[in-house]
Amino acid sequence: MIRLVVTVDCYRIAGTFTISRGSKREAVVVTAHLTDGIHEGRGECVPYARYGETVDGVAELVRSLEPEIAAGLDRAALQKRLPPGAARNALDCAFWDLEAKRAGLRVSALAGLPLPLPIVTAFTLSLDTPEAMAAAAAASGRPLLKLKLGGPEDLARLAAIRAAVPQARLIVDANEGWAEADLERNLAACAAFGVELVEQPLPAGHDGLLGRIARPVPVCADESAHDCAGLAALKDRYDAVNVKLDKAGGLTEALSMVDLAHRQGFSVMVGCMLATSLAMAPAVLAAQTAQVVDLDGPLLLAQDRAPGLRYDGSRVHPPEPELWG
């Protein structure tokens, strides 16, 4: 019989993390622990208010499945039992971890995937003044920077950052923060400053303009893209999709989503919420064929879980079994 324990854990952010919707100083995660008395599997999720989730609500939803898990609910049945979202992510990843440990195999082997390799992750610059973001870009020394934008000074931010780091690769995340009236001007500025990708410039559900204008920079769906079922409807507006396990509802759906997105002609970005290495670990598997990787959550925390993922600068290594998988 498998037992379930759910914990809520807080991790302080190194400084303040700001996007167009607001700021935060800590990452609050929900962790599912599954044990058969010998082996333990873990999965971490980040409830996200943007999608109507709360920490208490997600923790309670996960706990509510304890009798069903004890009675034999497994990872396959979980896909229909819960909708995509944070709660299913925590349990799905915990099931993968437990299955791997019981079998004495890595999750990649169970999933029929090659052994994962180290990958280069973007490093996120929090929304701030042009001067502060330029200074942070220069101090980071990172080859790939993700710029949080979404305000009236965005063009000044782009100019200052590009002047500070002329060789760095840049991607932009507006977090639904641009207005339709500014869209073409902002995309043109991104092209002029060598930005490679722009995430979610307009609010989800109000992004039809993207299908009626020229896009001089590839545009990536984030808040507009959740699971496999919604991909086909995005094809006229987006060039890429950001696959996040918390949106998709776990590694199972994320792997399917990455495959389907490639087959439908999208570029793929694999991203994350602000969380620890336990949340990043399964995403490393999903990110192996992605064109852009954004798994820098632990780099933004004052302290990560131990053991955590190994980062060599911007290179993130696959997890060791002591962490996950």
**What pLDDT is attached to residue 16?**
84
Q: Is 310:283 a contact under the CB 8 Å cutoff?
A: no
Give the residue-averaged pLDDT of 103-108: 97
Q: Residues 203, 137, 317, 50: what is their CA dihedral angle, to the nearest 10 degrees?
A: -20
**What pLDDT is attached to residue 43?**
98
Give the residue-averaged pLDDT of 114-123: 97
Q: Is 146 a catalytic residue?
A: no
CATH topology of domain 3-106: Enolase-like; domain 1 (3.30.390)
Kindly list the distances between the CA atom of residue 116 and the CA atoms of 81, 92, 96, 310, in Å, as whole numbers in the listed order. 29, 19, 15, 14
Nearby residues of 37 by Cβ (< 8 Å), 6 or more positions away: 3
Average pLDDT over the chain reads 97
End-to-end CA distance of the chain: 20
User: CA torsion sign, 119 to 288 to 218 to 202?
Assistant: negative
pLDDT digits (tens, 9 = 90+) for 223-248: 999 999 999 999 999 999 999 999 99
> Which percentage of the chain shows pLDDT scores above 90?
97
User: Model-level pTM greater than 0.85?
Assistant: yes
Q: Is 101 a catalytic residue?
A: no
What DSSP state is assigned to residue 158? H
Q: Write down the catalytic residue from 101, 146, 244, 247.
A: 244
pLDDT digits (tens, 9 = 90+) for 132-144: 999 999 999 999 9
Upper half-sphere CA count for residue 95 (Cβ side, 13 Å): 22
Q: Write down the catalytic residue from 80, 101, 146, 148.
A: 148
Distance between CA 42 and CA 242 in Å, rounded? 24
Q: Where are the domains of the chain?
A: 3-106, 119-316
**What pLDDT is attached to residue 23?**
83
| Highest CATH level, class, for 119-316 | alpha beta
